[in-house]
Amino acid sequence: MMFKTRLRGLSMDVLFRWALLFAVIFFSPWPVRGDQPRALLLGGYQNDCRIIRAGNESVKPKPMMVLYSGDRIVQRSGVNEIIIKCSPFTSVKRLNETTLQISCRPPAEKKAVLKELQAFLGFEKDYHQRRTAGTRALIDKGTDVFIPQPGPWATVMPGDAVEFSCERKGTKTIVFRDSSGALVFSKALGEETAVKLTPQDISMRPSETYSWEIEIPGVPRGRETYSLRLLGNEMAELVAIDLKKLGEEELGDRERKLKVAAYCQFISDTYPREADLYWKSYQVLKELDEAGSTAAENDLAQALRDRYIQHIEEQMATGYKSNP
């Protein structure tokens, strides 16, 4: 999917930010995949061990190597001593005496997500430490990189006030269309670069995929349109209940926000065809007050910010998500 940005109507400052974002996305060290890391290879392997990736790509193992759902660990001398740490809802299947396979099977009972949130945080802590050992963060908190919000693809909750933003110069109108291309809502923004709207404002309906973009008089429509969908009733109810529970826990403000941000990413990864709340996670992370924060809290916040950027990378590289 070609992602082309029109130059007309963009300031040099905005162009610089887009250039920085594209550098992050297309030159980052992460492979572009349709899945999040599901396990870590801790040790116990021998010289004859190989990791078989999707497409039958064979790679040599190394300590704390990231494994994905479907990866096979093949070792002719036997796999009994191999040690693997799994993320929630992930298991290691023994196919035979020489082969293991990583399998991720989210439970049909979605209430398990909140129960496994702490395990998810523990796995992400180990993964982040492995990934950042000897390297700097992909995007530091203070880095001024603009990403249109709520992102290339997002699901929103009924009643949520969602901030739509896109830095373009000129008199702007935000426009929403349904999957047939019919106009369903528009609002003049003038010179403003952001507006908050609820799904009710836009007249969104469940199971319908919408596109939105910023229009400027005299500027032809281009490719920078973004997709939006309303969460289904069951998922929306679950998320609302879980976020309410997190809000009621006896936690400090920073810890609560970090848990909310992590939850939004975790449920998006666990049920990707139903929910994409990474944008909500990012909004929460932007509100974090680092005054008095611990090193562990800062590390977790950075890990979640990096996960958000990786998620945007995958969306842009794969042409966003298709309608389920």
| DSSP 8-state class, residue 54 | G
| Crossing angle for the helix pair 295-318 and 12-26, to the nearest 10 degrees | 90
Same domain, 11 and 157: yes
- What number is the average pLDDT over the span 99-114? 87
Same domain, 180 and 265: yes
Q: Is 232 helix (H, G, I), strand (E, B) or coil?
A: coil
**Pseudo-torsion of CA 13, 15, 17, 21, nearest 10°?**
180
- Please report whether residue 34 resides in a domain: no
pLDDT value at 14 more than 70: no
pLDDT single digits (tens) 268-293: 988 988 999 999 999 999 888 776 78
CB hemisphere CA count around 35 (13 angstroms): 17
Domain that holds residue 238: 1-29+135-324
pLDDT for the residue numbered 26? 39
* Angstrom distance (rounded) from CA 11 to CA 294: 38
Same domain, 4 and 94: no
Task: Specify the higher pLDDT residue, 294 or 129.
Answer: 294
Tokens 């199971």 sit at which residue? 207
pLDDT single digits (tens) 135-146: 443 444 544 455
Same domain, 100 and 205: no
- Please report whether residue 219 resides in a domain: yes
pLDDT value at 134 more than 70: no
Number of domains in the chain: 2
Task: Specify the higher pLDDT residue, 218 or 302.
Answer: 302
Dihedral over Cα of 170, 172, 177, 183: its sign: negative
pLDDT value at 91 more than 80: yes
Same domain, 96 and 157: no
**Pseudo-torsion of CA 114, 115, 116, 122, nearest 10°?**
90
- Please report whether residue 114 resides in a domain: no
Same domain, 186 and 265: yes
Same domain, 17 and 153: yes
- Cβ atoms of 312 and 147 closer than 8 Å: yes
pLDDT for the residue numbered 319? 57
Final residue in a domain of this structure, among 107, 127, 147 = 107
Same domain, 175 and 72: no
- Out of 47-56, 181-190, 216-225, 282-291, which region has the weakest mean confidence (pLDDT)? 216-225
Same domain, 10 and 49: no
Tokens 């572009």 sit at which residue? 32
Final residue in a domain of this structure, among 91, 107, 123 = 107
Q: To the nearest 5 percent, what fractions of the chain are helix, strand and coil?
A: 35, 25, 45
* Angstrom distance (rounded) from CA 158 to CA 67: 36
Same domain, 157 and 297: yes
- Please report whether residue 301 resides in a domain: yes
- Please report whether residue 126 resides in a domain: no
| DSSP 8-state class, residue 271 | S
- Please report whether residue 244 resides in a domain: yes
Task: Specify the higher pLDDT residue, 210 or 21.
Answer: 210
Question: Rg for the chain (alpha carbons), in Å?
Answer: 21
- Please report whether residue 248 resides in a domain: yes
The three-point CA angle 187-190-192 to 5° equals 95
pLDDT for the residue numbered 27? 39
Structure tokens, 313: 């990378």
pLDDT single digits (tens) 250-264: 988 899 999 999 999
- Please report whether residue 225 resides in a domain: yes
Task: Specify the higher pLDDT residue, 66 or 136.
Answer: 66
Query: Of 223, 277, 313, 278, nearest to 34 (Cα)?
Result: 313
- Cβ atoms of 124 and 58 closer than 8 Å: no
pLDDT for the residue numbered 8? 41
pTM for this one? 0.73
pLDDT confidence of 221, banded at 50, 70, 90? low
- Cβ atoms of 70 and 78 closer than 8 Å: no
Task: Specify the higher pLDDT residue, 300 or 125.
Answer: 300
Residues 6+ apart with CB under 8 A from 321: 153, 227, 272, 273, 276, 315
Same domain, 213 and 91: no
* Angstrom distance (rounded) from CA 7 to CA 18: 11
Same domain, 171 and 263: yes
